[in-house]
Amino acid sequence: MNKILHFILNNPRGGAMLLGAVAALSFAPIYCIFALFFGVWGLLHLIDDAINTRQLYERLYAFGLGFFGVGTYWVGLSFRTIDIGWLGFPAVAMLSAILAVFVLPIGLFIKPFKPKSVERRIAFAVGFALCEWLRGHMFTGFPWSLIGSVWGAYTLPGMNDLGLSILQMVSFVGVYGLSFLTMLAVVLITGTNRTASIIALNGIIVCSFFGGLRMNDAKTELLPVNLRMIQPSIDQHLKWLPEKFEHNIELQLALSGLKAERSLSAIIWPEAAVTRILNESLELREILSTIVPQNGHLITGTPRREGDKIFTTLSVLNEKAEITHTYKKSHLVPFGEYVPFKKILPVEKVTPGALDFAEGDGLKTLKISALPPFSPLICFEALFPGEVVSKNSVKRPEWLLNITNDAWYGVSAGPYQHLALVRIRAIEEGLPLVRVANNGVSAVIDPCGRILHKLGLNDIGFIDFELPKALPRTFYSRFKDSFLWGLLIISMIGALIMRRRHTVTV
């Protein structure tokens, strides 16, 4: 270990970038939490060894480059699906360079404190959590690579759901709050203060105990509502080709039309399952209506045209070939669905079609006969903590429906990380979440984040399932990040008090 540290200290910028890359291995699908401990441990040594402000910020920024470079490498694969794969590496490099800026404010928090002190490590955790929150909210937000999501798949003898137990904390503090608690534990455990390390280890045990109690009390209950989701795994190269349209629709119709053991209330297709303008084609709607269950619905993703605007939507079709409900995606993906600052930037969006998609009216709760009310979320929208349920709905939804298409990212970490982040929304809100993907990973998730059914990456098939029952509203669903701010303020005040006492003692 000393040799590794010696190498890193003698190559600080390259070492910091390497440490960031290693730390990113703690995310899905690898879930190596020891990589997070090692990466942060090494970074703390590097910034404690910095002899001036410039070195401090250089090392923080280099860590961010490595962290986001590995954490978002899958973005580059999406360019292959539109035959401009050569742009993949520059795009990831530029994205990493932008995201790494959000690591720099940590320097403001730790500068007042003595290197290697406990209070400096506390300030580091506070700064990291705040920067993560800012990254998730500024410039439309990019809440990816969140430290709180690393607890997705850990088991220990006698503690088969250790990671999922700790994830239950998000029902109280949200994923940003869990990020802070996780980073606080990491910086204290890797420090030299034995008392602080023991307190941090006990904190992890307490969080796991709390989560275990919650999961014990909240057994999975199922409603007598039978649904079918399909995952056709249509290659992104073929999805929008006019000559492949009939084949793609026939595949989805075939999966939908297979005999079910119980009568279905709805069949759910993924995002952009229908690539033509459904509201303008009665003939197409009549074809699709042939597989709509009796007194039921087909819920599908499809573009919609209204005047000179195009929307990406979730639309509901009945037996009479009528579109009865529509949700228009309101949180669009920059450069994927629209180009920000289009009058200035000489670029086009990367998705098919000459027009940018228009923004919808915001989140809504859909109330459809034979189904409990639900909150529709299209792809990217399910990433945002505290922003998956409409604030204007009189009645709270009883489940979340996320339709998506991760075929853009091929066989990579992207689809697994997307599932891991979306899964947290179910725990935060105390609502079951149904995730229907064109390709990977489709899942039925209960309000404690337990995955009840799943279709893996590249699987072609369907799942018939009963809808899990919602839990009472969680603390987080009521108060959002208010507890997080309390934690950060109290921790920072505590660090300043510790600093003052050490100063007085000296």
Active-site annotation, residues:
271, 329, 379
In the sheet with 461-468, reading across from the earlier edge strand, the strands are: 323-328, 309-317, 297-306, 266-268, 222-231, 461-468
Q: In angstroms, how far is CA 258 from the centroid of its own chain?
A: 32
Q: Cα separation of 188 and 210, whole Å?
A: 21
Amino acid at position 176, single letter: Y
The two structure tokens encoding residue 176: 């940003």
Query: Could you tell me which of 112, 106, 149 has the C-alpha nearest to residue 129?
Result: 106
Q: Cα separation of 57 and 493, whole Å?
A: 24
Amino acid at position 478, single letter: R
Partners of 156 in the β-ladder = 159
* Strand duo 222-231 + 266-268: pairing: parallel
Q: Are 167 and 221 in contact (CB under 8 A)?
A: no
* Strand duo 374-378 + 433-437: pairing: unpaired
DSSP 457: T
In the sheet with 374-378, reading across from the earlier edge strand, the strands are: 374-378, 399-404, 433-437, 442-445, 451-455
Q: What is the helix (H) or strand (E) element at residue 402, kind and residue range? A: strand 399-404
Residue 1: partners with Cβ closer than 8 Å, 6 or more residues away: none
* Strand duo 222-231 + 309-317: pairing: unpaired
User: ∠ CA 471-477-483 to the nearest 5 degrees?
Assistant: 125
Q: Cα separation of 154 and 164, whole Å?
A: 8
Q: Cα separation of 464 and 452, whole Å?
A: 11
Q: Cα separation of 392 and 410, whole Å?
A: 37
Amino acid at position 213, single letter: L
**CA 394 → CA 375, 390, 498, distances in Å?**
13, 9, 47
Q: Are 359 and 330 in contact (CB under 8 A)?
A: yes
Residue 78: partners with Cβ closer than 8 Å, 6 or more residues away: 88, 350, 408, 409
Burial class of residue 406, CB neighbours in 10 A (0-12, 13-18, 19+): buried
Q: Cα separation of 406 and 423, whole Å?
A: 15
Q: Cα separation of 404 and 256, whole Å?
A: 18
